Chains A and B, each alone.
Chain A
Amino acid sequence: MAAVLLTGSVMKFAIALFSAAHAPSSRRALLFAQSALAAGHEIVRLFFYQDGVYNAANSVVTPQDEQDLPQQWRAFVSEHQLDGVVCIAAALRRGVLNEEEAQRYQRSAASVEAPWALSGLGQLHDAIQDADRLICFGGA
């Protein structure tokens, strides 16, 4: 269905994700992103906000017979060398830290690493300006 939706001229998409890794909307976001690239479109940035930050956490352990979405995101972003940004304020609030932030706040565990970058909301606005379309998943 996505392939039909995306036929026509090449588009630059910004993708914002607001829901946790176990939410169906997070799976749909990944499927959309994969379909967009497969159809020849460009993804200018992925921006994970609110509970979406959990999709970047390498501390998520998924039961063996379920899809490991954080791992799938990680592989997808690495393979296509995408710009994957996790909102730093939303991530700190939810205990999703990289090594630098874990040290800064003296926490015992870091759970975000490359290919993800922790950064601010300016990166969302920047992506919105750059993209033809902003596609949001998991909002209210």
Chain B
Amino acid sequence: MAKSLLLISRQAPWSGPGAREALDIVLAGGAFDLPIGLLFLDDGVFQLAAGQHAKVVQQKDLAANLQALPMFGVDELFVCADSAAERGLAVDALALDDLKVLGAADIAALIDRYDQVITL
């Protein structure tokens, strides 16, 4: 059986190529049909903020890539409730469907469930 991978994405979308490169690992894993999960944590939750205007900060929009996740077979999508709350983001208004909202204890259990973890 294929080993599962959890990617914990912790960087804001406009802080450099980090968030995009983290997502690329997930999309590549999905393309290979691997069991893969994606958790948005800390500043990573900013990737999910609705109504971003990437062009204004001369950036490429990450939203289209995020929307591609289900098409790549990645449907284990999680967001940290505390990270969102600390940054004033309402978890019911995030820019990605089918996100599971997790508290701190759930996140510990989630990490435990995966064979390998990458934090970026």
Contact = CB atoms under 8 A, between A and B. Distances in A.
A61 to B, nearest CB: 24
B25 A139 contact: no
Interface stretch (B2-10, B62-70, B83-91, B95-103): B2-10
A119 B80 CA distance: 33
A116 interface: no
Contact of B34 (A18, A90, A125, A140): A125
Contact of B28 (A16, A90, A125, A133): A125
Contacts of A125: 5, 28-29, 32, 34
Given A16-B118, A50-B120, A140 B28 contact: no
B21 A136 contact: no
Interface in B6-65: 10-11, 17-18, 21, 24-25, 28-29, 32, 34
Interface residues of A, number: 19
B30 to A, nearest CB: 10
Nearest to B9: A140
A124 interface: yes
A8 interface: no
Contact of A136 (B2, B10, B32, B118): B118
A139 B25 CA distance: 13
A54 to B, nearest CB: 14
Given A50-B17, A121-B24, A140 B119 contact: yes
Nearest to A50: B21
A87 to B, nearest CB: 8
Contacts of B24: 89, 121
B11 A134 contact: no
A134 B25 CA distance: 14
A134 B5 CA distance: 10
A13 to B, nearest CB: 11
B32 A122 contact: yes
Interface string A45-79: 00001100000000000000000000000000000
Given A50-B120, A140-B120, 20 more contacts: A16-B118, A50-B18, A50-B21, A89-B24, A121-B25, A121-B28, A124-B28, A125-B5, A125-B32, A128-B5, A128-B116, A129-B2, A134-B5, A134-B116, A134-B117, A139-B118, A139-B120, A140-B10, A140-B11, A140-B18
